[in-house]
Each structure stands twice: as structure tokens, then as C-alpha cells.
């Protein structure tokens, strides 16, 4: 029988597993702390754990790290790891150091089935969901590796901000995601603040609803277009969950969210979604129908990171500035994301890993890219949410 990977468990799951071994919950807490707080992978190291439990675990359980294929360090301090997850699939994890915090960008799937046009992962297609253990192992590796590398003092942590913005749509891997989030938040695990764990979604509305109840953390939504006809083309999931539904779901999420705003991500694509008119349409969108149901939000404008198959170009700096000004003048906090790790292809939207595509995404994405001149009217066939 395959040994159980203890990284697959949040604390309640580990307590249930230990109970099955005839052990009390406090033993599970000790074990959990050894694994996540001290980075131990060897039961013999766990000196305060009862010898009887260590004997039971030996052979029956493991703490399974991901197998690292490569590590690249950018001149700006960004580090990208490529991990082998078997069967020809590999996923990427990125550490982004900033003055006031260390952010880890984690992958949730090998590839992604959503197929956003501007996203390198989307063009790779989809292979499979990662397990909870494979999601948590990215944080486990990064935190404990960086503590040594950065020579941090005992009690200092390397990562205090996690964004589920790597490869994959996390809300399409919900069952594995939630225990992973709980492990990140648990005081006996990584003890991260709910405000500093962000799930980024392209808009899986039913799962936004569930997350609100099960494990509310900060929410970022990949918007990228102010109307349905354009978003249908850039983010195909929009055909299933159009903007009006998505915005209503965001408004409801805020009832339980640890932050009082939603972050909207907006990738700036030259000649596609980057005019002042698009920005004004966005303002109307987040104001809600007849400005009755506004969604408190911030915009994060992302300079597109071009890759050959996309057929898209990055918006010029002046265009991004003009777009941001329309939003800012209306009182909406708007930032332009600094590109980090460009030199190692670790910037947003560049993560591609290696994926055995089982969805033929590339075939779907070879259709010509929409340009403004060809764009449909901004009045949606479903009725513009603005
Ligand atoms: S942007 Fe996110 S949801 Fe869209 S294809 Fe890329 S990884 Fe998937």
C-alpha cells in the first residue's frame, strides 16, 4: 500500500488520521507543527513525538516533497522553481521579495482548462489537478529553503503573503484547494493572515459562493474586459458565468471577506482592451446597474508579458497611464503591477511549466485575436452589465 502523504492533510484531517492510529488530537498538533513550522520530513527528527507514534508513522506515512527540476534566480531577487509532478507534467512556483513582505505565487493545476488568450499557461492546455499535498509542498519547500538561504533567525518567516496565481484556476480544483488554504492559515501551520492569502479566479461563480462560506480569504478576479462580448473572447469562462453574475457574486463575497474590496486584475492588451472608453465602461460595470450595487474594488493593471503564440502585444506605457487615470479620477484605487522576474519568464502570465495537454487548448486558441476595430458593440447580447 502507498504510504499516506501527510502534506495532504489540514490539521483536522491530520487529527482524524492520527485518531485512526489510536492517537489523541494533541499528537496531531505536534506532528503538524514539526512538518509545517520546522520543515521536518523525517519522523526520527521529531524528538518530542512519542516513540510509539513515530513507529506507527514509519512506513505508513511520508512527508512527500516535490521533486525540483530547476531553480532560477532573477537579478531582481525573484526566484522561480520548476517542480516535477509526474507523468511528464511540471509546475512553477515563484517567490517575489519586496521591501515589506515576501510573496509566494503558487500553482494549483498542471496547466489550465480555462484557456485565457493572454496567458501562457492557458495556451499549454490542461493535464490534471494538483493534490492538496502538491499545493502545500510548494509553500513548504519555499519557506524552509528560503529560511536557510536568507539565514533567517528562529521565528522569522520568509513568506508572509501567498497568492494562488500560478498555473491553474484554483477554484476548478476546489476540493484540494480548501485544505491547502486552511494549512496556510492555521496557527500551528504557516499562520498566515486571511488578508494575506489571495485566491485569484477567472470567475468560477459557484465556487466563489462556496469559498465565502468554507474559507474566506482575499479574492482577486481576473477581469480583463469591461463587457461580455470582449470578455467572452479573452476569458472563455465568461460564456458560462457572464459579468453580471460574476459582479453580483463578488458583492456577496465581500460580506465574509477579510478585506473590504475585491481586487480586479486587468491585463493591458494593445488595441484590444486598453482605451479610455474601456476604462469608463469598467467604472460603470463596478458601479452596478443604475449605480445601485457598487462593488468596492481596486484595479491592478498588468502589463502583458508577450509570448509568441499569443498574437497579442503589450499596451504602450502612455496608454496604460491614461487608462489608469480614468479610473483614479473616479476615485478607484488603481495600481500598475511592476513586472518582476522578466529575465527568468516568471512574470505574471508567463508561467507555462511543462504540461501533457489533454484538452487541445492550442487548437482552440489559434483563432484570430479580436482587435478594437473588429470588436462587437459594447452592448452585450445578454445586456451589458454596465
Ligand atoms: S489566466 Fe488563470 S484562468 Fe486564465 S488560463 Fe491562465 S491560469 Fe488559467
> Do the Cβ atoms of 266 and 202 come closer than 8 Å?
no
| pLDDT mean for each 10 residues of the chain (386 residues) | 95 98 97 98 95 94 97 94 95 93 96 93 92 98 96 93 96 98 98 98 98 98 98 97 96 95 97 98 90 88 90 96 98 90 64 68 61 41 30
Ligand 1 contacts CB of residue 116 (under 6 A): yes
Tell me, yes or no, if 92 is annotated catalytic: yes
The reported pLDDT for the residue numbered 373 is 42
Helix crossing, 11-20 with 25-36: angle to 10°?
130
* 153 grid coordinates: 533567525
Q: Give the bridge partners for 83, in sequence order.
A: 68, 91
- Distance from residue 309's CA to the centre of ligand 1 (Å): 15
- Residue 340 is predicted with a pLDDT of 75
Site to probe by mutation for ligand 1, drawn from 164, 207, 208, 222 as the one with most ligand atoms within 8 Å of Cβ, is 222
Which residues are bridge partners to 68 per DSSP?
A: 83
Is the minimum distance from the CB of 78 to ligand 1 under 6 angstroms?
Answer: no
For the chain, domain boundaries: 4-62, 67-374
Is 348 among the residues known to form the active site? yes
pLDDT digits (tens, 9 = 90+) for 211-254: 999 999 999 999 999 999 999 999 999 999 999 999 999 999 99
Report whether residue 112 contacts ligand 1, using a CB cutoff of 6 Å. Answer: yes
Q: What's residue 309's pLDDT?
A: 85
The response to whether residue 265 sits with its C-beta less than 6 Å from ligand 1 reads no
Domain 4-62: top CATH class: mainly alpha
Any atom of ligand 1 within 6 Å of the Cβ of 168: yes
Q: Is 121 in the pocket of ligand 1 (CB under 6 A)?
A: yes
What integer pLDDT is reported at residue 368 of this predicted model?
57
Give me the pLDDT at residue 382, please: 33
Give distance in angstroms: CA of 2 to centre of ligand 1.
Answer: 33
Q: How far apart are CA 345 and CA 351, in angstroms?
A: 7
Q: In the CATH hierarchy, which fold is given to the domain comprising 67-374?
A: TIM Barrel (3.20.20)
Are both 4-62 and 67-374 of the same fold? no
Q: Which residues are annotated as a binding site?
A: 112, 116, 119, 168-169, 200, 222-224, 305
64 alpha carbon – ligand 1 mean position (Å) = 27
**Which backbone phi and psi does 141 adopt, to 5 degrees?**
-65, -50
Q: Using CA atoms, how far apart are residues 145 and 353, in angstroms rounded to an integer?
A: 21
pLDDT recorded at residue 278: 98
Given the residues 18, 23, 92, 143, select the one marked as catalytic.
92
Q: What is the pLDDT of residues 2-27, one digit of tens each?
A: 999 999 999 999 999 999 999 999 99
Which residue's CA is minimally distant from atom 4 of ligand 1?
116
The C-alpha torsion from 196 through 259 and 274 to 345, rounded to 10°, is 10
Count CB neighbours of 257 within 10 A: 20
| pLDDT value, residue 375 | 40
Residue nearest to ligand 1 atom 5, measured at CA: 122
Distance in Å, CA 129 to ligand 1 centroid: 14
Ligand 1 atom with least separation from CA of 202: 3
Distance from residue 341's CA to the centre of ligand 1 (Å): 19
Could you tell me if the CB of 122 is within 6 A of ligand 1? Answer: yes
Please report the beta strands in 118-183, taking only residues with DSSP state E, as ranges in sequence order: 126-129, 161-164
267 lines ligand 1 (CB under 6 A): no
Compute the distance from residue 121 Cα to the ligand 1 centre, in Å: 6
Amino acid at each position: 500500500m502507498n504510504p499516506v502523504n501527510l502534506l495532504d492533510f489540514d490539521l483536522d484531517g491530520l487529527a482524524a488520521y492520527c485518531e485512526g492510529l489510536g492517537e489523541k488530537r494533541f499528537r496531531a498538533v505536534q506532528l503538524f507543527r514539526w512538518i509545517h513550522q520546522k520543515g521536518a520530513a523525517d519522523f526520527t527528527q521529531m524528538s518530542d513525538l512519542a516513540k510509539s507514534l513515530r513507529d506507527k508513522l514509519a512506513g505508513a506515512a511520508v512527508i512527500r516533497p516535490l521533486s525540483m527540476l530547476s531553480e532560477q534566480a532573477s537579478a531582481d531577487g525573484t526566484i522561480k522553481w520548476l517542480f516535477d509532478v509526474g507523468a511528464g507534467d511540471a509546475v512553477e512556483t515563484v517567490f517575489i521579495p519586496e521591501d515589506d513582505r515576501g510573496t509566494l505565487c503558487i500553482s494549483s493545476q498542471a496547466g489550465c482548462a480555462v484557456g485565457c488568450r493572454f496567458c501562457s499557461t492557458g495556451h499549454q492546455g490542461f493535464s490534471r489537478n494538483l493534490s492538496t499535498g502538491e499545493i502545500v509542498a510548494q509553500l513548504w519547500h519555499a519557506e524552509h529553503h528560503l529560511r536557510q538561504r536568507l539565514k533567517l533567525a528562529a521565528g522569522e518567516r520568509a513568506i508572509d503573503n501567498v497568492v494562488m496565481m500560478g498555473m491553474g484556476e484554483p477554484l476548478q480544483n476546489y476540493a484540494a484547494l480548501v485544505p491547502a488554504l486552511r494549512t496556510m492559515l492555521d496557527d500551528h501551520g504557516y499562520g498566515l493572515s486571511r488578508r494575506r492569502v489571495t485566491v485569484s479566479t477567472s470567475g468560477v461563480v459557484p465556487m466563489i459562493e462556496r469559498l465565502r462560506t468554507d474559507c474566506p480569504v482575499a479574492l482577486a478576479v481576473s477581469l480583463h474586459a469591461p463587457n461580455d462580448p470582449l470578455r467572452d473572447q479573452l476569458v472563455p469562462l465568461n460564456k458560462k458565468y457572464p459579468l453580471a453574475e460574476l459582479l453580483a457574486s463578488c458583492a456577496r463575497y465581500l460580506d465574509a471577506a477579510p478585506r473590504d474590496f475585491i481586487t480586479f486584475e486587468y491585463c493591458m492588451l494593445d488595441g484590444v482592451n486598453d482605451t479610455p472608453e474601456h476604462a469608463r465602461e469598467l467604472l460603470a460595470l463596478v458601479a452596478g446597474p443604475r449605480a445601485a450595487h457598487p462593488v468596492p474594488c481596486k484595479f491592478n493593471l498588468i502589463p502583458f508579458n508577450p509570448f509568441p503564440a499569443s498574437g497579442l502585444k503589450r499596451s504602450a506605457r502612455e496608454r496604460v497611464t491614461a487608462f489608469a487615470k480614468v479610473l483614479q479620477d473616479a476615485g478607484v484605487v488603481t495600481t500598475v503591477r511592476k513586472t518582476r522576474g522578466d529575465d527568468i519568464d516568471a512574470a505574471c502570465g508567463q508561467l507555462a511549466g511543462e504540461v501533457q495537454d489533454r484538452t487541445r487548448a492550442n487548437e482552440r486558441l489559434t483563432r484570430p485575436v479580436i482587435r478594437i476595430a473588429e470588436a462587437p458593440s459594447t452592448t452585450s447580447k445578454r445586456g451589458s452589465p454596465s
